[in-house]
Every structure is written in C-alpha cells, then in structure tokens.
Structure 1
Amino acid sequence: MRLTHSTGVENPMELNKFVFNPKEGIDNPTMVIAEDAERPPGPSPRLCVLKKEEGEYFGFHLRVERGTSGHVVRHVEAWGLAEKGGLREGDRVLEVNELFVADLGHTEVAHRIQESGPQLCMLVLDGEEYEQAVAQGQDLKELASAQRGEGWRPPRLCHITRDPVTGLGLSILPVEGEKGKFTISPVSGGPAERAGVRKGDRLIWINGAMACELTHSAISKMVKKCSDHMTVLVIDSEGEANYTRRRMPILPAVADAQNMPYRPRRLHLQQGPHGYGFFLRQEKTSAGRTVHMLREVDAGSPAELAGIKDGELLLEVNGESTECLSHENVVSRFRQSGQQVTLTTMTLHGQEFYTMLGLSPLLFTEDHSSSKEQKEESAAPEQSAAVIKLPAPRTEAQGEPLVEPSLRLCVLQRGAVGFGFHLGCIQQKPGIFINQLAPGGPGESSGLLPGDVVVEVNGQNVEEECLEDVILLMKIGGYSLSMLVVDRPGYEWMKKNGKPITAEKVIKASEVKENVNPSPTQPLF
C-alpha cells in the first residue's frame, strides 16, 4: 500500500511527485518518483492481514449483491481493524487464509472468515479491477496463486506425542546470526518425525507462543516441562522466505494440519417423529466459560445415530457460531431449520485444548454424515424424559401428515428501535425469515415469531427476492409495515402440497387453535 507524501506545497505537481513506501521500514524510508515506480501490469491483488483482540470485531461486512459479481466488502468501519488492515469499500475477496473462495457460496466464505479466529488473511482485488478481470475472461484463481510465486509451501501444524523411551524426538537450535529464529530437527523415526516435522524446518510457533518472541533457553525449558504432548508450527526455509517476501505472517490458520488430536465434527441430522433426541443446556465449565452442551442423548434417536455423545459442546448451528448466542437464540436457530439441521460439535477436552493454544477449533472441522441409517423411532419409549417431543401430527386418510400452518398478517408501526426485528436467510434454502426480535418492540407486539418466513411485504410477494431487496422494500414503506408470515414447518408443508400462501388464508388459519405449533419458548428437540 502506498501513501502520498504531502509536503504542504500548493502546487499539485509537487503534491504528486513523491510517494512514500512504508514497507521499506522507518529506518530507511525510500522516496521514489511516482511516474517511475514500477506497477505490475493488469489487476493487482492486495494482501490484507487483520488481527483482533477478544471482544473486538474486524469491522466490515461481506455481501453478495444483485448485479454485482463476487464477494463484496461493504461498510468498512472508519479507523476499524479492517480499514487499518488495508480493506476498502467495494473490494472483492479472492482468498481467505490462502484458500481460493471466489467460486464458493456466500455462506461458506462468511463461515471461513468467522472460523479464522483472532487473525485473518485475505487476498482482495479492487472492485473496478475485479470487474475488468471478469469482463476480460481472466482466470481469477490463477491471478490469486500468481501472488504466491515459486517456492510457496504452506506451514505445517504438528502435534507431537511424547514417547516413554525417546521423548518428543526433536532438537531445537538457534539460527546463527538471525535473532529470534530457530531450526527444529526430528530424530529419525521418532514422534516428531511421525507428526510431520522435517529436518531443517524453521520453528514458528510452539504451544501457542511465537518462537521469535522467545529465547533459546525459554524454548528448551518449554520442551523439558511439557507433559505428554506438544504442538508446533513449522515451515521449511524456502517456504519461510516466500512468506517473508510477501510480508505475510505465518499463521496456524493457513497451515496444513493433519494430526491434530481433536477435531470438531459437522453433523447433518434429520428430525425424527419425536425431535432430534437430546437436551440442550447452557452450562458453565470449571474454567468459568459459558457453553451450550448436548445432554441425555436418547437411544436410537437421530442424535445418537449421528454419533453425538452426552456432554459434547455445540459450537455451531447451520454454520453459525453459538459462542455469542443465548440459549433462547440457539433454540430459535433450531426452529428456523425445519425438519433438518447441521450441527458442529466437539468434546469439552477438545475445547480446552484449543483454548490453551489460542486457536479456534472451527479451523479443524471435519464434515460427517451419519454413518448409519436413521431408523424410525416408533420403537423408542414414548415416556422418555430425555427428549421434549412435538405433539403427534394428525394424518389425512392417505397417511400424509397434516400440518396446520401458523399464517399471520402482522401490521407494524416504526418505533424507537425501528420495526424491532432482524431478517436472515440460509443459502440454497428458500424464504427470508425473522432472525431476531427486539423484546417489546413493534415486531414482537405484532405477533412475529423467530423463524417466521416472510411471504409478503406491503402486499408484494417476496419469496423469490434476495435479502437486500426485501430490506429495501421495507424501508421505502415509511413508518408503517404490513407483513404476511408463516412458520417454517407450515411454509414447507404448504409448498410441498401446492397450497397457495395468501392473506385470504389468514382468518381460516387463526381459527385452528388446538393444533397450532408449540409456543416459541418450547424447544423442538
């Protein structure tokens, strides 16, 4: 990034004559003539490195917009972490932590950013340059990989388990003449070599501490004091030189990690006749950390067939982190899922392991599908207290479940908190839905419920509209808003059976009281 060096001279030619390049360092600031500065021909991607502390946000939004290609950076906060890291309004994201994402869906890209933890590396392209590259048919993946050049090899995150006889099987020595740099060499056939450490590797990080900030004596003490295992981040010397040339930090988020001892599992569950088969509880660990924990997994339930064990932590629901969500909000996410849900779970020991290392466990998630067929739960005991069950569905003569949709026409007046709700959407799943409601706000008072699918806004059908267009339609309506909504199970049933969803159905639906869906405070699992 280049900053114009202003001399305070009135003459605009003088103002633009020199460019200061801060990358050369403050000890030897190089002044170059702007007209003679070499610029690579064609689009020039930029590397943006962002780092946040606990409780901070990166300070930007990522959007997919109608009529605009790519993943678009919007709402970059002034003086925020994103702006300081080099992100600009309208940038298009090519890579996240050295993974090419321009051809991925919006939800997956956002998920990659969320799971990166406190440090994030993004390769972006200016909006105009991106549009030009697309118009000219340039290969964006090739453009991104060209920035790495030759000699690029990712670092490796290696978990070493101590052998009773040979120990960790490694030696660490300082690099002569290079302060803060160390080489690590494994004993042939020993635990370190089996974990992926290679002779001559540079030690970047050890048990969560940057090696460059440690002395050789401190590292030796860490190795001696470690109990039965150690985790190191290493890279070969040529790979290190490549990262140095690009002025990019070597982070665990970009590493190849093949032997980490704990990995979160992403599980896909189909709801059974009596729910998913577990309790969800918000508990505090011995370390004082508040977590969402899966308890009392029912035998033969979808949860048990997926491999969920009592005491596992719930890290995500449908790709959304539960870390900052209340118990009620997590329950709401289950409601929005309808008949199927994707969960990311991990053991408490795994969470403690990654907390000790200062890493996000979501970086190491493995996708699992249930290895067994999910059996019908007709044989399961009806009186089981481990699962909060839905009322048994009524059936038509042919045996097809009959659902009574909760269809409502809600009229709102803008208040001090606006209309008092947030909208959400799930990729590849139809229907914009009510994501959150402000307690006591106009939305809640009008009868809106979390998870409701928005069918009409001010009389206009919005089922096929994107989120941004629905929000715009609500804004241009002024201080009054009319919304036709229906609960998610009812919406899916009406669509499946070809039932029209119109305001004329509202009065009829409101007459059915004994068969409406459970109250919003009753868990569906």
Structure 2
Amino acid sequence: MEFPRFTFNPKEGIDNPALVISDDPEPDPNPVPRLCQIKRKEGQSLGFRLRVEKSRPGLTVHQVDPWSPAELSGLEQGDRVLEVNEDIVENMEFSRVVEKMQGCGPQLFLLVLKGEEYMEALSKGMDIQALTRAYRGGTCSRPRLCHITRDPALGLGVSILPIDGQKGRYTLSTVPEGPAERAGVRNGDILVWINGSMVSTLTYSAINKMVKRSSVHITILVIDSESEASYIRRKLPILPILAGSHNLPHRPRTLDLVQGSDGYGFLLRQERLQSGRIAHLLREVDVGSPAEEAGMQDGDMLLAVNGQPSEPMKHEQIVRTVRKSGKSVRLTTISVHGREFYTQLNLSPLSFHEDNLPEEEGNLKTLSSCPGIQYGQSTDTPSSLPCPRLCVLEREESGFGFNLGCVQHEPGTFIGQVVVQGSGHRAGLWEGDVVVEVNGQNVENKYFEEVVTLIKNSESFVKLLVVERSGYERLKQNGMSITPGVILHSTQDSEKPEDAFL
C-alpha cells in the first residue's frame, strides 16, 4: 500500500491536530537565592570581606580574593548574605554574624542573593525572609543536634529502627516525654549522625554496639522526613553545623577580663594534647585575680580572643592581640571536659557558641534601652544589654508551633524547634530562647514537666516571656530581674561601615 508523499507548503503551514505548539512558560518574577558551600583547609581564611554600611542595606560581600575558598564556591562581589549555616541574619547583629562565620570550622554555607536582585526586591516591597522560606520550602525545619542523658528507669527513651529496603537509613521511635523527647527528638525522626559518625556508613549492628557503649549519654543528629526531602532537593548535606542545638553540655564561655595592678593573673601556654593537636591552654590562674573572678580555671582551652579564633594563631600572635586590647580583653574558652567532648564528636566548639562579641566603634546597629529590665549595679549600660520579648501565641490544630527542651534533671526550659510559619514563628520565638514566664508566671526554677503542663493548660492563647540564651546569662550575671520588654534597634548617623575580613 502506497502512502501519499507529504509536501510542506510554508504558506499553508502544518495542519496536524496532534502537534501542539505552546508558548514557553513565564519565568518566575521573584529572584531565587543561591547556596554557596565554602570549604577551607585548616588555618586557611575564607577569602572574602563582609561589610554593612548605611548607604547599602543588608550584609554585603565587599571583596572576594582570587582562587580563595569563597571564589571557588561561587561567592561574588556585591552579593547580599541572607543566611549563615541556615540561620537568617537579616536582624542579627553584625558582630554575631562575623563570629558565626569565623567559628564555622572547615565548612561554611551561605545563602546569598545578587546585589542588584536584592535592591530590586526591596524596591518592590518584597519580604526578603519570605524569599528564603520559599527557597527552603514551607514545611522545612533545621536538623536537631540532641544530647540524650540516660535515665535510670527509662534508659535513653528511644529505639533505632532500620527502614525496610533502604540501606543505611534508620528511623527513631521515642518514649513519650522520655529523655530523648526532652532532648528534642521526635517520634518518626530520621537518624543522620550518632556520636561523630554518619549512620549511612554504619550497619545496624554497629549502631547498636555504639549505643550500648554509651553508658551515660549519646549525641545524635536527627531530622524529620519532610525537611530531609528539602535538603535533598537543595543538594544540601545534613551536618551538625547546620543544626539547631541547645541542650549540648560544656558550651564555650565568654570571659570579660579587666586588667588589674598585676595584670590578668594567668599564663598562656601552647601544649600538645593527647590527640596530637596543638592547643593554647590557660594555666596557673592566680587566686583573687581578674582571671579567677571571671571564672577561668586551670587547663581551660582558649578558643578566641576578642572574637577572633585563636586555633590558627601562633603563641606570639595571641600575646600581641591581648596586649593591643589595652586594659580589657574578651576571651572565649572551654573547659577540659568540654574540649574532650567536642574532640570525641569531631566538632568545633565555636560552632555552638552563642555569646555576642562586643560592639565595635562605628557600629551602625545598637540596642536601645529596655524599659522592662530593672537595672542594678552593673558595668553594662542599658544600651548594651539584651531585652526580653513577650510573645503571644495562638493555638492552632497542631498546637502552638514549637517544641520545648530542657537539660536532663535540671530546672529551666528553652525553645527547642520552632515550626516555620507556625504560631510560634509568627509570634517571634527563636530556637534556643530561654523561657522566663508562662502566662505571667515565672518558670525559671520549674522543671520540664511543670512548664509543659502550664502551656498545655492554656486554651486559645499562651504568653511566653523569653530571652536569647546568651542574653539571659548576661542579665543573670549582672543580677537583674527580667520582666516584659521590647527589643528596639536604632541607626547611628555614622557613615563608617562595619567591616570584617573572613
């Protein structure tokens, strides 16, 4: 059977109902942030300069060194930084942002937007944080680094179960209100990392042996399945440095020292640890010296001087930095047990340090006074102190949109995980906030179960008075009672930019 030959006539075109020619879809008008994963070697700088100035809103990447880790990651001059290791930095103090970047260890994850796209978004009245949430996905929450202490009766309060047909993947089943749940683990979470090891490389038998060897406590990294899907979509590895972690023991401390007539009263020594690493240790703390009064103990390891990490510095450099500070210096330290804890987990202690650096001269953003704080005798001025926040949450079908955490067998609670776009998020709760009051009742000395009961008994609304953890510690050190207040920000007229080379 012969078929008629087809001859194309350009004037008539093609009459074929099976052929559908459609227009290209309209491009998304909203700018899309991009992720820069910066990897550096030990002692190597990140290779860029971060700046904030009055004439340019946002945190600006001012200079990127050629062939540096920053340039190799795709970071460009003029980029605006939106997130640092999954932390939104739009309303974060510049000094704190710098500290987070400097203490990141070998990897740093920056979510950025091109400068021109950032300015265009602002001119159109776009919500910059909404762009980051859209990029992440509305149901995505950060992974959680949870330190679980074994209970004599309940054990760890969690079971690890292999996922059928998926090698190297495990889910968790928790005991209601047991040690694991109090540490931030939720039933059905995916186990990612345990005691310094990624579980994808471990057999079920090896994980069970690891848990049995951990007679007192374990530290695990977990994430819910929906958030895991978001991380996979964004090709973002799930690592401890990206996690919300507020129940880890042995946190780094910030010591503010004022020089006395005989100096600071301690010796700095460079010593080799059992692991083979060279560390700067604080020794021979004099009785009654400024160092002892600030809480320094013999054998503490020095982590940073005035916010600058000391690990890559030589002994002489640290001494010069301290001397250049004049009559006062701020040291970030960690105890002997603390450094052993983080070494065993292969984590950088500075990654989990929450204290703010001191404000530098010429800063553009300063805290104004908080009318809700009762001031006593203190070296801190009202303008430099943190302010509590009164957050009013409306109950939804799924609850108030946050998890509560605590330190095992100790009074006091904090905000564990805040559900993105949930009631707690909209009310202004932050991960790590210390809970001071529930519905006007002080709960600083109440245990986890009592605080949970108070919140559960709230009907349609609950009022929480909270303070950032580092701010809470500073207020307590200054002997101040905490009552409802408001965080306010002001902008100085100075044109001098805040600037940091990273």
Distance 1:466 1:150 in 2: 34
Say which SS state the counterpart of residue 70 (structure 1) adopts: strand
Partner of residue 115 from structure 2, selected from 127, 140, 156? 127
Given the alignment of the two structures, is residue 85 of structure 1 paired with residue 73 of structure 2, yes or no? yes
Q: What does residue 162 of structure 2 align with?
A: 174
What is the CA-CA distance between 1:41 and the residue it aligns to?
1.2
1:108 aligns with 2:108: no
Q: Distance in 2 between matches of 1:189 and 1:205?
A: 22
Q: Quote the Cα distance in structure 2 between the aligned partners of 1:125 and 1:249.
A: 20
Alignment deviations for residues 437-495 of structure 1 (CA, whole Å, 9 cap, x no partner): xxxxxxxxxxxxxxxxxxxxxxxxxx997799xxxxxxxxxxxxxxxxxxxxxxxxxxx
Structure-1 residue corresponding to 2:236: 248
Q: Which amino acid aligns with 2:208?
A: S
1:219 paired with 2:176, answer no
Match of 2:127 among 135, 139, 144: 139
The secondary structure found in structure 2 opposite 1:62 is: strand
The separation in 2 between residues aligned to 1:55 and 1:317, in whole angstroms, is 16
Higher Rg: 1
Deviations 1:312-360 (A, max 9, x none): 1111111001101112111111122122221111112211211221211
**Deviation of residue 203 (structure 1)?**
0.3
Residue identity matched to 1:272 = G
> Which residue does 2:148 correspond to in 1?
160
Q: CA deviation at 1:212?
A: 2.0
Select the structure with the greater relative contact order (CA < 8 A; seq sep ≥ 6).
2
Aligned residue among 308, 316, 321 for 2:309: 321
Q: CA deviation at 1:93?
A: 0.9
Query: What secondary structure sits across from 1:86 in the alignment?
Result: coil
Change (3 A) 1:195 1:106: closer
Q: Distance in 2 between matches of 1:349 and 1:109?
A: 27
> 1:206–1:232: 8 Å Cα contact kept in structure 2?
yes
**2: CA distance between counterparts of 1:37 and 1:60?**
38
Aligned to 1:117: 105
Say what the alpha-carbon RMSD is for the aligned residues. 3.2
Higher mean C-alpha displacement, 234-243 vs 329-338: 234-243
Name the CA distance, whole Å, in 1 between partners of 2:29 and 2:495.
Answer: 41
Aligned pair count reads: 346
What TM-score do the two structures reach when normalised by structure 1?
Answer: 0.59
Could you tell me which residue of structure 2 aligns to residue 334 of structure 1?
322
Match of 1:270 among 233, 255, 258: 258
2:306 counterpart of 1:306: no
Q: The residue matched to 1:232 in structure 2 has which SS?
A: strand
The one-letter amino acid paired with 1:212 is S
User: How many angstroms does 1:234 deviate by?
Assistant: 0.7
The one-letter code sitting in structure 2 at the alignment partner of 1:263 is: R
Asked whether the equivalents of residues 51 and 497 of structure 2 are also in contact (C-alpha less than 8 Å), the reply is no
Partner of 1:329: helix, strand, or coil?
A: helix
Q: For the structure 1 residues 467 and 362, does the alpha-carbon distance in structure 2 shift closer, same or farther, using more than 3 Å as the test?
A: closer
Aligned-pair CA distance for 1:79: 5.5
Change (3 A) 1:302 1:39: farther
Displacement of 1:106: 4.1
**In 2, Cα distance between the equivalents of 1:244 and 1:39?**
24
**Which residue number in structure 1 is paired with residue 33 of structure 2?**
45
- Structure 2 runs not aligned, ≥5 long: 1-22, 358-375, 380-493
Return the alpha-carbon distance in structure 1 between the equivalents of residues 204 and 40 of structure 2. Answer: 28
Aligned residues of 2:53 and 2:496 also touching (Cα < 8 A): no
Deviations along 1:371-415, one digit per CA (max 9) or x if unpaired, are 9979xxxxxxxxxxxxxxxxxxxxxxxxxxxxxxxxxxxxxxxxx
1:268–1:368 CA contact under 8 A, matched in 2: no
Which amino acid in the other structure matches residue 223 of structure 1? V
Confirm whether residue 351 of structure 1 aligns to residue 351 of structure 2: no
Change beyond 3 A, Cα 1:38–1:96? farther
Superposed displacement of residue 193, structure 1? 2.9
Q: Report how far residue 66 of structure 1 moved.
A: 8.0
SS, match of residue 136 in structure 2:
coil
2:283 matched residue in structure 1: 295
Structure 1 residue aligned with 2:246:
258
Which residue of structure 2 lines up, in the alignment, with residue 197 of structure 1? 185
* Residue type of the alignment partner of 2:262: H
Counterpart Cα distance in 1 of 2:222 and 2:41: 24
Q: Is contact 2:54-2:495 (8 Å) kept? A: no
Contact 1:185/1:197 (8 A) holds in 2: no
Any residues of structure 2 matched to 1:230-249 within 5 Å, and which? Answer: 230-249=218-237
Contact 2:162 2:169 in 1 (8 A): yes
Q: Tell me, yes or no, if the aligned pair for 2:52 and 2:497 is still in contact at 8 Å.
A: no
Query: For 1:409-428, what per-residue CA distance to the aligned partner results, in whole angstroms no more than 9, with x for missing partners?
Result: xxxxxxxxxxxxxxxxxxxx
Distance 1:119 1:466 in 2: 27
Conserved? CA contact 1:295–1:310, under 8 Å: yes
Query: Which residue of 85, 97, 104 corresponds with 1:97?
Result: 85
Matched residue type, 1:265: R
Residue of 355, 363, 375 corresponding to 1:367: 355
The 8 Å contact of residues 159 and 232 in structure 1, kept in 2 or not, is answered as yes
Secondary structure in 1 matching 2:58: coil
Amino acid of the residue matched to residue 146 of structure 1? A
Pair 1:225–1:53, CA change in 2 (3 A): farther
Distance 1:85 1:217, change over 3 A: farther
TM-score of the superposed pair, with normalisation by structure 2: 0.62
Would the aligned equivalents of 2:99 and 2:307 in 1 still touch at CA under 8 Å?
Answer: yes
What amino acid maps onto 2:81 in structure 1? V
Contact 1:51 1:120 (C-alpha < 8 Å) held by counterparts:
yes
User: Aligned partners of 1:162 and 1:201: how far apart in 2?
Assistant: 19
Q: Give the secondary structure class of the aligned counterpart of 1:88.
A: coil
Over 3 Å counting, the alpha-carbon distance change for 1:218 and 1:37 in structure 2 is: farther
